[in-house]
A and B are shown apart, each in its own frame.
Chain A
Amino acid sequence: MAEVGRNVPNTIAKAPITFAMIELADSADCNARKSQWLSYGFKDVTPKFSGRSTVPSLNGSMVAPGRDMLKEMASVAADWYMISGHHGALYESDYDRFNTADGAMDVRRITNEEEYCGFFNEAYHESYWEHAARDHHDAVDLPGTPANSIYLRTTDAAPAAIASHDQGNPVFDSTSWAPAPKGIIISACNTLAYRSARKTWSGYFPNAVIIGPISRIVTGTWVSSAVASAQATNESFWRDPQSVLDQAGMCEQLEKQLTAGFPRTGRIGLIYKTTLYQPDGSSVPADSAL
């Protein structure tokens, strides 16, 4: 409803659609999506770092100043966020806690019960995260701890003390008054496979559209490609996804389109208003076990 005055000029305008990105690892997917959004005329409000035009990466040499950027991310009030990086359990050795009786890895238990999970940068593959254990979380005593380790928790379960490095996740900054984003696109393995992560995402953003893998992925561009190929993601969707997805059957339709654009070796999911929509056409409460 436009509230207009008589006999005075009134302007009815469209606000630009804004986006911001957090990149923890390979930036190919973020740069692809950034180019696409810019071509749509969207406005990039990602905090600028060192005047770089590419998506700011928290990997490698950009890590230290990247921490300052993370704090700024909470305040840019973007319509859409894209978060990219590695995602998994805090310590891979914790997987042993969920073995079956005969000692085999129980993946279902891991995804349903592991609570200490989040995003990592490349240090995830450089011994620190994979070989340490939660019982030895004092990083100071850990040999070979990479100086540029980053862990952004995606659950409320992981206590601050368990990770030695700054683990503030700007997207989960509940103290910020920044408005909740309209949508969040996650480009990382298994993000929505973890029950605790789904619970956190849907708990913090009960009205946001959340798109992410519920399986391992070979490359983050899978997610960008799937989103780009979904016909439902037109201007109306980007501008006001809630009004689109609130219509009967639209969540199922979007999930179907995302799946059609996703390689069959992976699975992509959609969380909207605390419900997880899955590739097989089913939907369950986001915080339920799979």
Chain B
Amino acid sequence: MEVPDQGAMEILDNSDDSNDQGPVGQGNYQVQPGDCMASIAHQYGFTWQTLWNLPANAELKRQRQPNLLLPGDYVTIPAIRLREESRPTDQLHKFQVVGQSCRLRLRFLDDKKQPRTGVAYVLTIDGKTTRGTLDGAGSLNVPIPADASQGSILLQTGPDPEIYPLNLGHLDPDSSPTGIRGRLNNMGFSCASDGNWDADLQAAIKRFQIANDIPPTGELDDQTRQALKEGHQS
């Protein structure tokens, strides 16, 4: 696989961004919406661990999680090196590609924060459909292709099934306003998916605080951030 020469690309280093709300990292690849390390690595023929552990990606590793990147972050992707393996002819040899699958982990709660145990679901990922039942924690945990980008899940809840379109890989870090928005929306506190720290986001935070018996300030204080993290689990 051909990889652009790193030296010819624009380098951005946001390591001094102490508030951790903007893009970070350096390198020749700019993270796009829907990217995570696994999908980027899959695209360029690496394992995600190979890229993640590169010294050039140390800043990214310090400020991000491998599956929660912010669009605009930079990743260093080295040129791919051909690896030759000598094997005798006229024999059968097995080669295994490692580390290229991902998993989709979803948990469903009702409006009293109780798990929606035993609900049958139909999951469609990039056109492929699987069926199952939510486990005792109201969860599912299924393998998905690393480059899967779109999906939906239908909960068979009687005459009015619930359908949730899924934007895979689009959950941003919780240090960003879009990351907070995504988590609030997933947990039923509607706000625009894009935008900064504006009144719309404050209103959703306030609704979340009221629902969680936190003083409704509309500000993302430590207690609120922790409750959001615990509620969303990521």
What is A's interface to B at a CB cutoff of 8 Å? Answer: 1-18, 41, 43, 45, 75-77, 177-179, 236
Contact = CB atoms under 8 A, between A and B. Distances in A.
25 contacts: A2-B186, A3-B193, A4-B166, A4-B167, A4-B169, A4-B186, A5-B169, A5-B234, A6-B39, A8-B65, A8-B105, A9-B232, A12-B108, A13-B188, A14-B111, A15-B187, A15-B189, A41-B111, A41-B112, A76-B216, A77-B216, A177-B202, A178-B203, A179-B204, A236-B160
A1 B165 contact: yes
Interface in B162-209: 164-172, 182, 185-189, 193, 199, 202-204, 206-208
Contacts of A10: 105-107, 171, 186, 232-234
B214 interface: no
Interface residues of B, number: 54
A12 B111 contact: no
Contacts of A12: 106-109, 164, 186-187
A17 B206 contact: no
Nearest to B65: A8
A16 B207 CA distance: 9
B166 A2 contact: yes
Given A8-B233, A13-B231, 17 more contacts: A1-B193, A2-B185, A3-B172, A3-B186, A7-B38, A7-B66, A8-B234, A9-B105, A9-B233, A10-B107, A10-B232, A12-B109, A13-B113, A14-B110, A41-B111, A178-B206, A179-B203
Interface of B: 36, 38-39, 65-68, 102-113, 144, 146, 148, 160, 164-172, 182, 185-189, 193, 199, 202-204, 206-208, 210-211, 216, 218, 231-234
B103 A13 contact: no
Nearest to A179: B203
Contacts of B68: 5, 8
Nearest to A177: B199
A11 B206 contact: no
A11 B182 CA distance: 11
